[in-house]
Amino acid sequence: MIPAAFDYVRASSAEEAISLLGQYGDEAKLLAGGHSLIPLMKLRLAQPTVLVDIGRVSDLSYIRDAGDHVAIGALTRHMDVETSPMLLEHVPLLAHATSHVGDPQVRHRGTIGGSLAHADPASDLPATTLALGATYVVTGPNGTREVAASDFYQGYLTSVLAADELLTEIRVPKMNGAGWSFQKFNRRAQDWAIVGVAAWTRGSESGVGLVNMASVPVLASSVSSALASGSSIADAAALAADEADPQADLNASVEYRQHLARVLTRRALSEAAG
Amino acid sequence: MTMTDQPTGVLGSRMLRREDPALLTGEARYTADLVVPGALHLAMVRSPYARARIVSVDTAAAVTMPGVRAVYSGADLADTWAGPMPCAWPVTEDMKNPTHLPLAVSQANYVGDAVACVIAETAEAARDAVEAVVVEYEPLEAVIDLEDALSDRVVIHDEIGTNRSYTWDLKIEETEGACDAAFAAAAYAVKERYIQQRLIPAAMEPRAVLAVPQPFGGDMTLYSATQVPHILKVMTALTLGIPEHQLRVIAPAVGGGFGSKLNVYAEELLCVALAKRHGVPVRWTETRSEGCQATIHGRGQIQDIELAADANGRLTGLRVRLIGDMGAYLQLVTPGVPLLGAFLYAGVYELPKAFDFSCTSVFTNMTPTDAYRGAGRPEATYAIERAMDSLAYEIGIDPLELRRRNFIPTEKFPYEAYTGLVYDSGNHDGAATLAAEMVGYDELRERQRSQNVPGATKRIGIGLSTYFEMCGLAPSRVLASLNYGAGGWEAATVRVLPTNKVQVVTGTSPHGQGHETAWSMIVAEKLGISPDDVDVLHSDTAIAPLGLDTYGSRSLAVGGVAIAMTCDKVVDKARQIAAHLLEANPDDLEFAGGEFSVAGSPDRSMPLAAVAFEAFTAHNLPDGMEPNLEAHTTYDPPNFSWPFGTHICVVEVDTETGETEVLRYVAVDDCGNQVNPLIVDGQVHGGVIQGLAQALFEEAVYDSDGNLRTSTLAEYLVPAASDVPPVITGHTVTPSPTNQLGVKGVGEAGTIAATPAVINAVVDALSGLGVRNVPMPASPNTVWSIINAAQGGSQ
Ligand SMILES: Cc1cc2nc3c(=O)[nH]c(=O)nc-3n(C[C@H](O)[C@H](O)[C@H](O)COP(=O)(O)OP(=O)(O)OC[C@H]3O[C@@H](n4cnc5c(N)ncnc54)[C@H](O)[C@@H]3O)c2cc1C
């Protein structure tokens, strides 16, 4: 478990990080909490030659009330999201889903921005922020742009982020009293989900995000449409795998994943409604 | 829970383990912690193919890299080995054993098989150079499936011309044809096939090796994270042609083994060979992925078992056919593992001499298998305990009732079994009754009846396992009859120092079991001193030159008993000295509380401390008596010891997701007298969790090309504390009559008992849905698929 040799530079601001990325080009990788990147490097599945450490860019660690949404700095640690009174009040689904990420050690190091930028469909937060209709703020050499969560993910571990861009903020709409549920199905408590479902409902409105059901996080929009047009929870949940395109792995066959998505969606919608 | 016949005093107390402060604070020094200036780091180049001809190995680029001292291919070192990697258990005369060298020369035979190695100044430089070694392979078809291997469609090792290593039979019949006759006359018969999946031992501490040549005289010290420093010394000497007396093996703190460190590995031999060649220390520390690939795997068997029973459900015949998965080569005791189980297929039940066992073991292109916690005995226990549940289902009676009808009655102990082995003591009904009480068996059956109604998606299952353990390995003559290449004795020295502190030297080699605590308690009890005044020396062949190490739940029942016997010798000698000084007859002296006194005149007494000092000064000893108070014993046990018990597991299966939740787990174990119940509970807890892990979580998975798909702990699912239930322990105490401590052993019991208890519970939960068997591990996906299949299609 020895990574290939690399250089290390520490950025003290977002601007500095962006200019360092520009300087080193494709060879460089941002290092936030390191809890996705370092394991890949130790297995030599990733071999960046320069690490640009943004772990101490403390002005990107915040959780702010921004009126209709809550703004979360990309460097905010999972533990801070999980325990934030503001999120617990206004976006409890995100705080709760975050409490299911790995174990306490992982949650004290890992960051929300790192989790989203890593774009792993098996991670909990991409699907959760997708279900919540979040917007991500991306900063590059030419300033910032806003990307809807639904436009961000392009494929397995790939997003619209350019090599010299930084994810800086996540804007999550307040849930305004919506019912919610997070169903994570795994075999060991600290593992990634075999299938996960993040759901909220408010009247005829709803959002359902699926974890590990395709090469990207999935928004189960058929379920929401069915609910909006008056379907029962059971009938709507039966559509949960319609947008999904899951892979088989050691834990689950394709059919089993589809089945789990339907069962967990039904349970999630029932809990959210209850 | 119930404690009878338990001696009072130090023995039997829940004393905290003296090992723990160092382990818990990180002060304990493992092999990789040892700082040795100038040591070179070894790194291995491993085959990415399950079977491939090695066409060429180009080391030119690697050897010029910064910090690299040397790069060797298998061919480069072929002359270094005086013999192949050792297999100490040729179970049959015609057993096939393909040549196995530390570095493969012409063909790699599993993913992870080492084909070249690098030594460099840092671990990083060595690791980088591994990537620069260019090996040209010609990939060959790999053999993964055991039955395919048996067909010899593709023969893995040309030199032996077949994939069959051996067939070993054990047919025990009162009269010829008794077994077939039993089946012909059976009122009930069941025939089942069980698969023992491969398991990765995954000890907390990976393997690590450090070989240090001494500056003068050619001596070599080998530090290794091993369970078997003594065996390793002999085998290293033989394999490398090093004079044994010039080799010293030390096992520093060792973080678990479970059988995986009961072996002789390529890296150990390479470190010694290269340290010798280069005249500098050489070290190697395993990565976790290497541990998954290149440290032995456990289990790996296909078991066909058939039971015949009479109208009352009493067993009348038993037939077993095994296919054993040896993996690519035979390691130290690989072929013997199925034999260790052969004697336990009738479990705790009476069986007439109508037993027919045969095991054929085959090579496959996977990591070699070998002993893994329980070694053969968990497999056997699984088969009989699962089959007993099938039989109960067939007859339509409660599985506990069926077991009761078949238990060997308590009054028949010592009991000569159908195999000719004598079970020392037992009380199976007692253990089963206690376990049933503790778990609330009858209420649970009630609850099950009301909960598992048609359409219910949360179904309760109750699983039993009434097990026997064969431990205390082993009477040397019995091992001889099995063709094992060593004895089963253990050595002990007890030395009372001039100041009445005691050194104990043991040939056992603890790696987490708590021997230092337990052995000091035995000595304290025997000599009437405080355990704090006893130091236990072990795991260094220069300090403890004689020993056969730790495995097979042998350490207490053999090594601990050897210590107790040695204490008796010390007391005997001290008695002579005390009698001489007190001018009394030795027979009139009583020894209690660390003091000799003359019977009837308590004022005439002498503490052991005074005797020890007299023995040391030797100013006034009986004529002809040697100075010093020290004794030695090498103890060859007269029998195995036979712990037993009943475990009951209660699960709830969610039939929608296939998820199994363990609601309750009760373990009643009888390991005879308990030296330290706290340690017993710890062994049971760990053992049960390891057995439960086989049932629900763990499996080494290969694809059809022989790639190991579970080569990190992200894929190989070792459960954590948060994933497993609390284990409720209880005990009955039935002392062993064959040793003076009345002890049996408990290191593997939990693992042996738990796996069938858990699977029996899962199957029991689903029996109303037509499910009769669930393969291991019973993952949610597997359980869901099994339910679907039993229900005739998808839900
Ligand atoms: C044992 C373990 C268990 C885990 N279990 C779970 C789990 O159950 N569920 C789950 O969702 N996750 C899990 N994780 C992943 C964990 O949440 C990671 O911390 C997280 O996914 C990545 O965050 P990080 O800050 O550690 O990112 P890093 O590892 O530092 O970076 C990840 C990637 O994102 C890039 N990056 C990081 N920050 C930014 C940024 N601001 N802008 C642009 N690119 C950036 C990096 O260059 C890198 O490519 C687990 C991790 C471990 C080690």
Query: For residue A116, what is the domain's CATH number?
Result: 3.30.465.10
| Domain ranges across chain B | 20-24+489-635, 34-140+204-256+261-294, 298-473+639-790
Confidence of residue A154 (pLDDT cuts 50, 70, 90): very high
- For the CA atoms of A207, B659, B665, B446, the dihedral, rounded to the nearest 10 degrees, stands at 100
Same domain, A71 and A150: yes
Cα gap B473→B553, rounded to integer Å: 7
Same domain, A256 and A223: yes
Q: Nearest-CA distance from A253 to chain B in Å?
A: 7
For chain A, the domain total comes to 3
Q: What's the domain range around A20?
A: 7-53
Phi/psi for B649 (5° steps) reads: -115, 135
Q: Which of B325, B225, B213, B324 is nearest to B265 (CA)?
A: B225
A93 plus A169 within the same structural domain: yes
Contact between residue B212 and residue B221 where contact means Cβ atoms under 8 Å apart: yes
- Indicate if B298-473+639-790 has the same CATH topology as B34-140+204-256+261-294: no
CATH number of B298-473+639-790: 3.30.365.10
Per DSSP, helices labelled H in B657-734 are 677-696
Q: What's the gap in Å between A61 CA and the centre of ligand 1?
A: 15
| Helical (H) or strand (E) element with B609 | helix B608-617
Give one DSSP letter per residue of B445-459, joined into a string.
HHHHHHHS-TT-SEE
Mutation probe of ligand 1 site: the residue of A51, A52, A118 with most atoms within 8 A of C-beta: A118
Query: The domain spanning residue A199 has which CATH number?
Result: 3.30.390.50
Q: Looking at the domain assignment, is residue A133 inside a domain? A: yes
Using CA atoms, how far apart are residues B300 and B370, in angstroms rounded to an integer?
A: 9
For residue B781, give the nearest of A43, A191, A251 by CB distance. A251
Q: Which SS3 state, helix, strand or coil, does residue A88 take?
A: helix
- The response to whether residue A149 sits with its C-beta less than 6 Å from ligand 1 reads no
Clarify whether residues A156 and A72 are in a common domain.
Answer: yes
Q: Tell me the C-alpha distance between B418 and B80, whole Å.
A: 48
Cα B440 to Cα B433: distance, rounded to the nearest angstrom: 10
pTM of the model: 0.96
The pair of three-digit structure tokens given for residue A191, joined into one six-digit string = 């593992």
Quote the CA–CA distance of B658 and B360 in Å, as a whole number. Answer: 35
Q: Within this chain, do residues A217 and A247 fall inside the same structural domain, yes or no?
A: yes
Gap from CA of A9 to ligand 1 centroid (Å): 19
Residue A150 belongs to some domain of the structure: yes
Query: Cis omega (within 30 of 0) on the bond before B545?
Result: no
Task: Choose the CATH number for B34-140+204-256+261-294 among 3.80.30.20, 3.30.70.370, 3.30.1490.20, 3.90.1170.50.
Answer: 3.90.1170.50
In B550-685, beta strands by DSSP E: 589-592, 595-598, 601-607, 629-635, 644-654, 659-670
List Cβ neighbours of B347 (8 Å cut-off, separation of 6 or more). Answer: B380, B381, B384, B385, B388, B466, B467, B468
Q: How far is CA B519 from CA B310, B565, B739, B753, in A?
A: 48, 12, 16, 26
Shared domain for A21 and A120, answered yes or no, is no
Tally the residues of chain A. Answer: 274
Inter-axis angle of helices B229-240 and B266-278, nearest 10:
60
Give tens-digit pLDDT for A195-247: 999 999 999 999 999 999 999 999 999 999 999 999 999 999 999 999 999 99
Q: Given ligand 1 and candidates A6, A101, A157, A183, which is best to mutate, with the most ligand atoms within 8 Å of its CB?
A: A101
Asked whether A117 lines ligand 1 (CB < 6 A), one says yes
- The pLDDT value recorded for residue B5 is 41
Establish if A230 belongs to a structural domain. yes
Take atom 40 of ligand 1 and give the residue whose Cα is closest. Answer: A167
Whether omega before B414 lies within 30 degrees of 0, making that bond cis, reads yes
CB B696 within 8 A of CB B758: yes
Instruction: Report whether the peptide linkage leading into residue B474 is cis, meaning its omega lies within 30 degrees of zero.
Output: yes
pLDDT single digits (tens) B151-191 = 999 999 999 999 999 999 999 999 999 999 999 999 999 99
Q: What separation, in Å, do the N-terminal and C-terminal C-alpha atoms of chain A show?
A: 47
Q: In chain B, whose CA is at the least distance from the CA of A4?
A: B128
- For residues B366 and B128, what is the distance between their CA atoms, to the nearest angstrom? 26
| Residue A2 is assigned to a structural domain of this protein | no
Q: Helix (H, G, I), strand (E, B), or coil: what is residue A38?
A: helix
Confidence of residue A25 (pLDDT cuts 50, 70, 90): confident
Domain B20-24+489-635 listed as CATH 3.30.365.10: yes
pLDDT tens digits along B703-722:
999 999 999 999 999 999 99
Mean pLDDT of chain A: 97
The verdict on A105 touching B (C-beta cutoff 8 Å) is: no
* Domain's final residue, options A22, A37, A53: A53
Give the ligand 1 atom nearest the CA of A124. 11
Last residue of a domain, one of A173, A188, A206: A173
pLDDT attached to residue B7: 42
Nearest to B717 among A188, A252, A256 (CB): A188
Does one domain contain both A38 and A132?
A: no
Q: Which residues of chain B have pLDDT under 50?
A: 1-8, 794-795
* From A1, A4, A188, residue closest to B128, measured CB to CB: A4
Residue whose token pair is 């010394």: B233
Clarify whether residues A152 and A251 are in a common domain. no
Do A161 and A68 sit in the same domain of this protein? yes
Measured from the CB, is residue A192 less than 6 Å from ligand 1? yes
Is A185 an interface residue toward B (CB < 8 Å)?
yes
Instruction: Identify which of A208, A224, A195, A199 has the alpha carbon closest to the alpha carbon of residue A92.
Output: A199
Q: Calculate the CA dihedral of residues B503, B221, A1, B132 and round it to 10 degrees.
A: 180
Q: Please work out whether the CB of residue A166 comes within 6 Å of at least one atom of ligand 1.
A: yes
Reduced to 3 DSSP states, what percent helix, strand and coil does chain B have, rounded to the nearest 5? 30, 25, 40
**Are residues A206 and A128 located together in one domain of the fold?**
no
Axis-axis angle for helices B428-439, B441-451 (nearest 10): 50
Q: Is residue B338 within 8 Å of residue B322, measured between CB atoms?
A: yes
**β-strands B315-327, B354-363: how paired?**
parallel
Are A226 and A153 in a shared domain? no
B781 touches chain A (CB under 8 A): yes
* B658 contacts on A by Cβ (under 8 Å): 256
Q: What is the pLDDT of residue B793?
A: 60
Give the residue from A173, A204, A236 where a domain finishes. Answer: A173
Instruction: Report the pLDDT value the prediction gives residue B2, as an integer from 0 to 100.
Output: 38
Within a domain: A1: no
- For B246, B340, B367, B647, B667, the CA distances from B434, given in Å and listed in that order, are 54, 29, 42, 10, 10
Domain match, A43 and A97 both: no
Amino acid code (one letter) for B647: H
